[in-house]
Structure 1
Amino acid sequence: MSENKKAQEQAITLDIHYLKLLSRLFPTVAAASTEIINLEAILNLPKGTEHFLTDIHGEYEAFQHVLKNASGSIKRKVNDIFGNTLRESEKKALCTLIYYPQEKLQIVKEQEKDMNDWYLTTLNKLVSVCQNVSSKYTRSKVRKSLPEEFSYIIQELLHETVDDQNKQGYITQIINTIISTQRADDFIIAMCNLIQRLTIDSLHIVGDIFDRGPGAHIIMDTLCNYHNVDIQWGNHDLLWMGAAAGNDSCIANVIRISMRYGTLTTLEEGYGINLLPLATFAMDTYANDPCTVFALKQKYADKTYPEKTLRLIAQMHKAIAVIQFKLEAGIIKRHPEFGMDGRLLLDKIDFKRGMLCYGGKEYKMLDSEFPTIDPNDPYRLTAEECDLVEKLHNSFTHSEKLRKHIRCFMTEGSMYLVCNNNLLFHASIPLNADGSFKEVTILGEKFAGKRLLDRVDQLVRAAFFDDNNDTTSFALDYLWYLWCGPDSPLFDKDKMATFERYFIADKELHKEEKGAYYTLRDREDICNKILQEFGIDNPHSHIINGHVPVKTIKGEQPVKANGKMLVIDGGFSRAYQPETGIAGYTLVFHSRALQLVQHEPFESRQKAIEEGLDIKSNSFLVEFNSQRMLVKDTDKGKVLRKQIDELKQLLAAYRLGVVKERN
C-alpha cells in the first residue's frame, strides 16, 4: 500500500455512514473541494461586528434608533468615507436617510426642486457606504441579505466601480434607469435597510426587555424578525414568561408594574389584555379611596392621561397590588424551601391602628385602607378577586401575540451564552462570601455555578413544554421565584421590597441587600474562576452583565476587575436615567477592538427624522487587538474548521472508493 493511500485511510476517523450522508450535500470530489476552498477563504475574513445591549425596559424608540445607527458606527463610516468631500449638513442628512429612509424621502420631496439630480447623487453615496459595510463579508452572505426584487442590481453596483473606465457607462446607466423607471424610492429604502443590516452582524440582548418603558412589544417584534440575535433572559423577561405560562402571581406583578409606570399600551394594544374587569372591580372596591400612594409615575407614562383616568389607574394599581400580595403568599406557603416567609407581611399589619409590626419594630403605614383583606385570614382572595384573577389569567394565556413573543424567547433565548470567549448572563452567579459557588437546592438536589444555570434553563422550558404535571407545576411557581427569589441567579438579593416601598416611609426597609456576587465581581480572580467554570480560559475573555444600573453620575465605572467584568446597564429606561446620568451603553466587539459606547438621552424619533438629531454617543476603548481578529479566531471559525476536516475526510473516502461519487 502506498504511503499516500495509507495516510488517507488513517485520515478517515468519521463513521462511513455519516460520510455517506455528507456526500448527499457534496456528491463529487469537485463539489467537496470547492466547499473546502470556500470555507478556508471565509476563515481569513475579518470577524463580524457584535453589538451587546441590556436592560432596554420597553424604550423602543431609543432601542430602534441605536439599531438603525449601529451605536454610531454608521455615522463614523460616513465620516471616514466622505471626509471633507461633503459638508457636515450633507453627511448628517445622509445618515438620517440611512436610519429613516421612508420618512426622510417624504421630507426631501417637499423641499427638493430637482429630484432626479438628488436621486443621482444620493444613490452614488449609498453605493459607496454599502460597499464599505459589505467588504468584510463573502458575496454569498451579502447576496442572502439582499431584498429579492433588487438583488441582481445591488450585486452589480457593489462589485463594480465607476473608476473602471470599461464599466463606467454600465454603472451610470443602471443608476439612471433606476431613476427613469421611478424605482428610486424603493431602491433607496432597500439600500438603507441593507446598510443597517450589514453594519451589525450579530446582536446580543443581555436581558430585561420588558417593563417600565412604553413599547416592549414593539422591541419584541423587532427582535423576532432580526437577522441574527440571541437573548439572555432577565428577571423582568421571566416575569412576562411566567404570566404567559399562566402563573397568576406573575400576571399580577406584570399588571402592577404597568400601572405604576403607565405603560398600559403594551398590555392593551400590544397584547390585547382586557383590563376592563380590573377597572370595574377597582372602581367599585376603592370608590372612596384616594389611593394616593398608588398614583401613576406620570413622567414615565406612555402618554398624558386626564385626571379622571389617573384616578382610575391608581385604583386599579392598588387593587392588583393587594391581589399580588395574596397570590404570592400561596407560592411561598407551597414552597417553604424558597425561604421567603419574610415576604408574608399582610398578617403583620395591625389594621385598627394602621401599623406594620416588622422585625420587632412598629412602622406607621402610609395607607391602611384594605376593604378586601380579612384580618383573620389576610391572604384569602374574596370571591370577586377570584373571579377577576380567572379573567386576567385567561386573557394572558390566550394572547396570540404574547405566545409568539414567548416562542421567540424560547428559540433565541437562554439563561447564559458563551460566545467568542465572552460569558453573557443577565445578573448573577450566586456566590458565598468566600467566593465559592453557592449551592442552591432545587427539588431536593443541590446545584451551583454552571450546573445551576443549566438546571434553571431546563425548568423554564419545562414550565411550557413538560407533560409531567408535578414538574410543570413546580416549574410554573419557580418562574415567579426567578423574578424575586433570594437565590435566583436573575435577582440575587435578600428580598424585593415592593410592599415596603408602597406602605412604609422609612427607607431603611426599602433596602435590598445584594448577594456576594455583586461585590466579589470586582475581583479579577473571581471573574477568572467564573469564566473557567463555563469552560473559558483565555486572556481576552470577559463576563458581560446587566441588571444593576451603573451610576456614572456618582463615578461608578462599567469596566471592573481589570477589564474582566463589563456591566453594561447604563439606563436605557428613563426611570433609571436620573440615577445613571446617561441613557444606556452599547458594547461593540469588532475585528480590531472591544469598545463601550455611552449614549446620551434620545429625544424622539420625530426629531431624529425632522432635525437629523442623532443620539450623542461617546466611545471608550476597552480592549484593542494588535492583530485584526479574523473569522478563524471565533467560535464560528471552530465550526468551519470542523466542517473542513469532515469534508477532507469525505475527499479521502471518495479517492479510496470507500464512498462513491454521485452523478
Structure 2
Amino acid sequence: MNESQSNELIAELINLEAILNLPKGTEHFISDLHGEFDAFNHILRNGSGSIRTKVHTLFDQELSVEQMDELCFLIYYPEEKLHSLKRCQQLSKNWWFETIEHLLVIVRFSSSKYTRSKVRKALPKTYAYILEELIYQYDEDTDKKAYYRQIIKKIIELGEAERFITDLAYLTQRFVIDHLHVIGDIYDRGPHPDKIMDSLMDYHSLDIQWGNHDIIWLGAVSGSKACLANVLRICARYGNLDLLEDAYGIDLHLLKSFSRKTYQENIHFKPKENPYRSLTIWEITDAMKIQQAMAIIQEKLEGQLIRRRPEFQMDHRLLLDKVNNNTLTIHNQTYSLVNTCFQTIDWKDPYTLTLEEELIITDLMRQFQHAQKLNQHMAFLIEKGSLYLPYNHNLLIHGCIPLNEDGTFQSVIFDGKTFSGKSLLDFFETTIKQAFDQPWQTEDFSTDIVWYLWCGESSSLFGKKAMKTFERYFIKESETHVEEKNPYYELRNCSEICQQILNAFDLKETDAHIINGHTPVKLLKGESPIKADGKMIVIDGGFSRAYQKVTGIGGYTLLYNSFGMQLAAHKPFSDKETAIEKNDDIISTRQIVDRQLKRLKVRDTTIGHSLIKDTERLKQHLENHDHSSYL
C-alpha cells in the first residue's frame, strides 16, 4: 500500500466514524393500505404529521395558525397548492420571497442530521449548486446575507420561483423521513393499489413485508390459477374490475361474456359500495355475475389443489363433493344452501372446470403474466419485499408466527421436512421467490405453497384454521362463518411470548419490538394497538374504508426517530381536493411508545452495525500497512 492509498483509507475511516455519531434517521411504518391511495399519499407526503410538527416548532412565534397550515399544504402538494393560490389571488414578490425563505429554513432544519454527501445526492440537478450554497453557507450574521438574498431575488425575477418552491417542498418530504417500512397488504378492497405501487417505486428508501392480499397477486403472476381466481373474485366483490382493465390492461371480454350468459342477477353477489365513484347499472351487473363465476371457479381450482397436496391437510375444505340436494353437512350439522349459483358444476365430478371455464382461466393467466405494468409492480414487490424483516431491533411482520396453545412454535411438514418459527418463514420466503422465478410452472409445489400462504392453517400470513369463503356465500347461519384465529393473536398480549419470538429472530435487546399489521385494531371496542408491555405494536388501524366503522379511525402509523417511537392515530381522510382547498389536514394524535433515555445514533442501527464492521476492516488494513512499513 502506497502513501496515497493509506491517506484514502484514513479519510474514509474518519468519514465513517463521523457518520456513526450522527442522529438516527426517522423511520416511518405504515400497513394495510388496501388500495386507499389518497389517504396513503397524504400520510406519505406529511410524514404522519412530522412536517406539521417541524413547521410549528420553527414558526410558532412568527406565523399565524392559518399561515402555518398554508405552508404545510404547500409542502405536501406544491403544484396543486400553488395553482390554487394563484387562482384565488395575485401573489406578490414579497410572498414569493418570504415563502422561499421559510422553506429554506425547514430544509436546513430537516437535513441537519444527514451528511453533506447524502444531502447533495438528494438535491435536484437544476438547482443543486444554488441549494447547496443556501443550505450550508447561510448565516444571518455574516456579510454574505445580501448575497443569499440576491440569489432568491434573482430566482423570482427569472420566473423560477414556482419550480424552486416545488423542489424545496419535495426536498422537505425527502429529508423528514429517512426510510419507509410498508408492513403488507397494498392490494385489494380499495381502488388504486397500482398508484400506491407507482409511488413506492419512486420512493427514496423503503422495504416491504408481504401481506396475504399481496401474496395472491404475486401468486397469480407466478402461475397459481387458484390465486388468480381469488384476485378476480375480490376485484368483482369490491367493484374494482376497472383496476384490472384500465390500470393493468387485462381484457375481461371472455369472462364477461361467459358470466352474462351463465349467471343471473343475484343480490347476494352485488359488489360492495365503491367509496370513490358510483358504479353504473351495467358495471354492477357485470361485477355481480363475474363474482359468481369466479367463486365457483375458485372452489373448483382450490379443490383440485387440495387433492393433489395431501400434505397441506386441508381435506376439510373440500365441500362441493359433500353438497346433497342443496344441503351441506359439516360438523354433524346439516345446513340448507342459499344464493346458489352452481350452474357449471357436474355433481359427479364437481371439481372439474368446464371447457369454457378452462379457456377463460388459461386466457386470464396468459394476460396476467404478460401485463407489463402488473409484472413491473410484482417484480418490485419481490425485489423490495420479504415475509419478515429484523431492522433496528424490531421484527417487522405482516401476519403472525404460528403458535400452539402453549406458546410453542407450531410445526408443519412440507416436502418431508419439519419447519417452525423462523425456519418456517424462511421456507415460505424461499418458495415464493422460486415460484416467481418459474411462472410457467402452474401446478408445481412452490406455486401451490404460495396459495397455501393465502389460506393454509400454518400460514404466517393467514393465521386462521380455515377460510370460510364458501360458507359466507352459501350458508346463512353466521356460526359457520367464524374463522378461528391462531393462538398467536391471543398470546401476543404476553410480553414473555413476544420476547420468545424476538429471541428466535436473534433480537434479544430489551428495547426490541414486534411490529404487526393484518388485524384491524378495534379501537371502538377498547382494544389498544400497544400490547405486551410495549413489546408488540399493531398498526393496522383501518386505512381501508371498509374497516373504519370497526376501527373508529383512519389508520395507524408509527414513527421511530433518534428520540424513540411514537404511534400516530389518524382520522379518516376526506379527499385530496377538499384538503388542499381548505388546508384540511388529517388530524393525528400521537402516543409515545418508547422514549430513549439516550438519543440514538447511526451506530445504534442495523446500518450502523454494518458501518462499524467496515471501520474495523479499515483499521485492520491500516495496522497491517503500518506493521509492514515498520518491517
Q: TM-score range by the shorter chain?
A: over 0.9
Residue 326 of structure 1 corresponds to 300
Question: Aligned ranges for residues 626-641 of structure 1 at < 5 Å?
Answer: 626-641=597-612
Give the superposition deviation at 1:238: 0.7
CA distance in 2, matches of 1:119, 1:228: 31
Within the alignment, does 1:132 sit opposite 2:104 as a pair? Answer: no
Residue 50 of structure 2 corresponds to 73
Alpha carbon RMSD of aligned pairs, Å?
1.8
Aligned residue identity for 1:395: Q
For the Cα contact (< 8 Å) 1:338–1:485, is it kept in 2?
yes
Cα distance change, pair 575–481 in 1 and its aligned pair in 2 (3 A): same
CA distance in 2, matches of 1:619, 1:659: 59
CA distance in 1, matches of 2:355, 2:516: 44
Residue 527 of structure 1 corresponds to 498
CA distance in 2, matches of 1:135, 1:568: 29
Residue 213 of structure 1 corresponds to 190
Structure 2 residue ranges without an equivalent (≥5): none
Aligned residue identity for 1:174: I
Cα distance change, pair 467–485 in 1 and its aligned pair in 2 (3 A): closer
1:577-602: CA deviation from partner (whole Å, max 9, x where unpaired): 11111111001101102100001100
Within the alignment, does 1:490 sit opposite 2:461 as a pair? Answer: yes
CA distance in 1, matches of 2:303, 2:439: 26
Residue 87 of structure 2 corresponds to 110
> Secondary structure of the equivalent of 1:84?
coil
1:612-651: CA deviation from partner (whole Å, max 9, x where unpaired): 1110100000111121111111112111111111111222
Give the superposition deviation at 1:114: 3.8
Give the superposition deviation at 1:167: 1.0
Give the superposition deviation at 1:364: 2.1
1:64-111: CA deviation from partner (whole Å, max 9, x where unpaired): 100100000100100000013101111111011100000111112122
For the Cα contact (< 8 Å) 1:596–1:621, is it kept in 2?
yes
**Which of 572, 575, 579 matches 2:550?**
579
**Which of 265, 270, 274 matches 1:290?**
265
Within the alignment, does 1:345 sit opposite 2:319 as a pair? Answer: yes
Residue 368 of structure 2 corresponds to 396
1:559-578: CA deviation from partner (whole Å, max 9, x where unpaired): 11111011111111111111
Within the alignment, does 1:621 sit opposite 2:598 as a pair? Answer: no
Aligned residue identity for 1:645: E
Give the superposition deviation at 1:264: 2.0
**Which of 386, 398, 404 matches 1:414?**
386
Residue 331 of structure 2 corresponds to 359
Deviates more, 1:376-385 or 1:157-166: 157-166
Residue 458 of structure 1 corresponds to 430
Aligned residue identity for 1:312: D
Residue 203 of structure 1 corresponds to 180
Aligned residue identity for 1:348: K
> Secondary structure of the equivalent of 1:451?
helix
Question: Aligned ranges for residues 156-175 of structure 1 at < 5 Å?
Answer: 156-175=133-152
Structure 1 residue ranges without an equivalent (≥5): 1-19
**Which of 408, 419, 439 matches 1:447?**
419
1:391-429: CA deviation from partner (whole Å, max 9, x where unpaired): 111111111111111111111111110011101111111
Aligned residue identity for 1:294: F
Aligned residue identity for 2:120: R
Residue 530 of structure 2 corresponds to 559
For the Cα contact (< 8 Å) 2:222–2:438, is it kept in 1?
no
> Secondary structure of the equivalent of 1:362?
strand
Q: TM-score, normalised by structure 1?
A: 0.93
Give the superposition deviation at 1:281: 0.6
Give the superposition deviation at 1:308: 2.7
Kindly tell me the number of residue pairs found equivalent between the two proteins: 631
1:454-487: CA deviation from partner (whole Å, max 9, x where unpaired): 11111011102269979x8100011100011111
1:156-196: CA deviation from partner (whole Å, max 9, x where unpaired): 11113351231111100110111111111111111111100
1:264-319: CA deviation from partner (whole Å, max 9, x where unpaired): 23211221111111111111111xx2222100111x35421122321121011111
CA distance in 2, matches of 1:437, 1:502: 33
For the Cα contact (< 8 Å) 2:388–2:396, is it kept in 1?
yes
Within the alignment, does 1:313 sit opposite 2:284 as a pair? Answer: no
> Secondary structure of the equivalent of 2:90?
coil
Aligned residue identity for 1:430: P
Aligned residue identity for 1:319: A
For the Cα contact (< 8 Å) 1:162–1:172, is it kept in 2?
no
1:526-564: CA deviation from partner (whole Å, max 9, x where unpaired): 111111101111110001111111100100001111110
The percent of aligned pairs where both chains have the same amino acid is 46
1:229-274: CA deviation from partner (whole Å, max 9, x where unpaired): 0011111111100011121111110011011111223211221111
> Secondary structure of the equivalent of 1:618?
strand
For the Cα contact (< 8 Å) 2:138–2:145, is it kept in 1?
yes
CA distance in 2, matches of 1:87, 1:228: 34
Residue 548 of structure 1 corresponds to 519
Within the alignment, does 1:386 sit opposite 2:361 as a pair? Answer: no
